[in-house]
A and B are shown apart, each in its own frame.
Chain A
Amino acid sequence: MMRCIKILIFFACLGPVVSLAWKAYSGGLGANPIEFITHATGDWTLIFLCVTLTISPLRILSKQYWLIRLRRMLGLFAFFYGVLHFTTYIWLDKFFDVHEMIKDVAKRPFITAGFTAFVLLIPLAITSTSGWIRRLGGKNWNLLHRLIYVSAVAAIIHYIWLVKADLTKPLRYAAVVGVLLGYRILAWSVPLIRSKKPIVFPRKPTEVPES
């Protein structure tokens, strides 16, 4: 059952990239295709960051504790769309001009913020395996993965700083991230709504713990 749900969600998460590929093939990317791809992949990175951040509060508030088993996949999809977004920038926008990219990262605050958001996701993607959870230990792993909060905030700042005048869309994301992070601050300060049921990390019974 769980396996079915996961497979279903996996393919659903591929929807946006399939849709982009189809639009590219059928000429539906509009007058400025590279801008379209950049915006779409950026949007989906933010959406997946928000969805990933929703899992923990949702599982506690709804008592659907199994939801945690979707979190890793959703987080990795956020990273996946982030990679696409970043690739669009270095390949289609800068054409691998390293010199210009370094100048960009140093000089343009919105690029600096976006770059930070992306780089912070890399260690999280690497340590997303069960092996790494074991190696780091649940406590350290949890601590490390709080970097997603910083990454989400940096991603929002990246969006706010790049628009010319209309802040509607970035502020919408900011509101969502604000609520999701606000919940956590509340949960830490008010012990009552703190999770009674700690996350149990999956561990294969046959494996011998490393010393």
Chain B
Amino acid sequence: MPINKPTDILSSDITPRTLYLNRRDFLRATAVVGAVTFGGSVVGELVWPSNTASAGSKIDGIQKSKFSTDEKITPYNDVTHYNNYYEFSTDKEGPAQLAKNFRARPWTVAIDGLVSKKKTFDVDSIMKLASPEERIYRHRCVEGWSIVVPWVGFSLSTLLKQVEPLGKAKFVEFTSVYDPNQMPGQRERVLEWPYVEGLRLDEAMHPLTLLCFGMYGEVLPNQDGAPLRIVVPWKYGFKSAKAIVKITFTEKQPINTWNKTAPNEYGFYSNVNPTVDHPRWSQARERRLGEFFKRPTLMFNGYGDQVASLYSGMDLKKYF
């Protein structure tokens, strides 16, 4: 498996968090932070004990990864204010506001189905299974825009190996949280809830497939899928399930939510493929957020060297 040359520096070393904010926000934030840290830290520690991770807090001991791209990272503010997260809102700016008070702790993930050791994990114990890596991945939405995000996590396979999948298991199904009290979008029947996604077992076990709990060196913000999400960089964004509560090993191919909603538009595989159009728009090009001109979309989102072999002999027009 050929691997691109590793980048030597972490994204957090090149572009500190503060520079993602624009200057005005930065100045305002500095003033607020200055005032708050002085008076508030003592009180804050009493009210919110810091033994649980919350969005915005730094993740320690992040390792760099050979899978990272050296492309320009999308500003933090864009990745946190341009979200497709229908559980909160179908507007892209909606989730940033509506997910503010989402409770990402306590949180457990149940792993069941065709495994020899069914188990329910606490999210904080999952985060300790391996040392966190920064994976700077391209992320391509089926709508035709893309971003470059420094995710934090480790290969999903690390978690999946814990439960010892049975030989019969061929697929993995991810179920996202269902909590209409906290997620106003789930009170609408835009999609069928809870959100379900799935991967073939070899896709799920592929080292590029990331179990993600952070980005930009910090704990994952609520609107980006806290506390735990999947990131599959060579597939369209909707394949990367957010806020997962259950992983089920199955023999049959899972029916993912978007496939159920519009089977002719969103397939099970949904690999990024510039030669297979969405029935209603072209997938040949994409707009990288922050760029004026569109750029050509790459086969498997540029991860062909690593993943093309998973699909050898398959008609990708049929299995779109």
Task: List residues of A whose CB falls within 8 A of some B CB.
Answer: 27, 30-32, 34-35, 93, 95, 100, 103-104, 107-110, 161-162, 164-166, 168
Inter-chain CA distance A110–B86, complex, in Å, is 23
Which B-chain residue is minimally distant from A162 (CB atoms)? B280
Q: How far is the CB of A94 from chain B (nearest CB, A)?
A: 9
Inter-chain CA distance A109–B145, complex, in Å, is 21
Any A CB within 8 A of the CB of B17: no
Inter-chain CA distance A107–B284, complex, in Å, is 14
Select A31's contact among B92, B143, B262, beta carbons within 8 Å. Answer: B92
A sample of 8 inter-chain contacts (CB < 8 A) reads: A27-B22, A31-B289, A32-B82, A165-B90, A165-B190, A165-B261, A166-B86, A168-B90
* A32 engages B90 (CB within 8 Å): no
Inter-chain CA distance A165–B87, complex, in Å, is 13
Inter-chain CA distance A103–B284, complex, in Å, is 13
Q: How far is the CB of A135 from chain B (nearest CB, A)?
A: 41
* A108 engages B280 (CB within 8 Å): yes
Contacts A32-B82, A32-B289 given: A109-B280 contact, CB under 8 Å?
A: yes
Q: How far is the CB of A23 from chain B (nearest CB, A)?
A: 13
Q: How far is the CB of A87 from chain B (nearest CB, A)?
A: 15
Contacts A161-B280, A165-B191 given: A35-B145 contact, CB under 8 Å?
A: yes
Which B-chain residue is minimally distant from A27 (CB atoms)? B22
Any A CB within 8 A of the CB of B293: yes
Residues of A within 8 Å of B282, CB to CB, are 100, 103-104
Supply 9 further A-B pairs (C-beta < 8 A) apart from A32-B92, A103-B282, A164-B143: A27-B22, A30-B92, A31-B82, A32-B145, A34-B292, A100-B282, A165-B86, A165-B191, A165-B262
Inter-chain CA distance A168–B91, complex, in Å, is 12
Please name the 4 residue pairs, one residue from A and one from B, whose CB atoms are nearest each other, closest first: A31-B82, A31-B78, A166-B90, A166-B190
Select B281's contact among A31, A95, A108, beta carbons within 8 Å. Answer: A108
Q: How far is the CB of B255 from chain A (nearest CB, A)?
A: 16
Residues of A within 8 Å of B280, CB to CB, are 108-110, 161-162
Count of inter-chain pairs, beta carbons less than 8 A:
47
Residues of A within 8 Å of B294, CB to CB, are 93, 95
Residues of A within 8 Å of B77, CB to CB, are 31
Inter-chain CA distance A161–B262, complex, in Å, is 13
Any A CB within 8 A of the CB of B81: yes
Any A CB within 8 A of the CB of B287: yes
Q: How far is the CB of B4 from chain A (nearest CB, A)?
A: 27
Which A-chain residue is minimally distant from B257 (CB atoms)? A165
Select B81's contact among A31, A107, A168, beta carbons within 8 Å. Answer: A31
* A30 engages B81 (CB within 8 Å): yes
Which A-chain residue is minimally distant from B90 (CB atoms)? A166
* A30 engages B93 (CB within 8 Å): yes
Map CB proximity to A onto B266-298 as digits: 1 under 8 Å, 0 otherwise: 000000000001001110000101101110000
Map CB proximity to A onto B137-156 as digits: 1 under 8 Å, 0 otherwise: 00000010100000000000
Inter-chain CA distance A95–B293, complex, in Å, is 8
Residues of A within 8 Å of B292, CB to CB, are 34
Inter-chain CA distance A25–B90, complex, in Å, is 27
Inter-chain CA distance A161–B278, complex, in Å, is 13
Residues of B within 8 Å of A109, CB to CB, are 280
* B287 engages A32 (CB within 8 Å): yes
Q: How far is the CB of B76 from chain A (nearest CB, A)?
A: 11
* A30 engages B190 (CB within 8 Å): no
Q: How far is the CB of A105 from chain B (nearest CB, A)?
A: 12
Residues of B within 8 Å of A107, CB to CB, are 277
Residues of B within 8 Å of A100, CB to CB, are 282
Residues of A within 8 Å of B262, CB to CB, are 164-165
Q: Mark out the residues of chain B between 38 and 95 whose CB falls within 8 Å of any chain A CB in the assembled complex.
A: 77-78, 81-82, 86, 90, 92-93
Inter-chain CA distance A118–B315, complex, in Å, is 39
Inter-chain CA distance A100–B92, complex, in Å, is 27
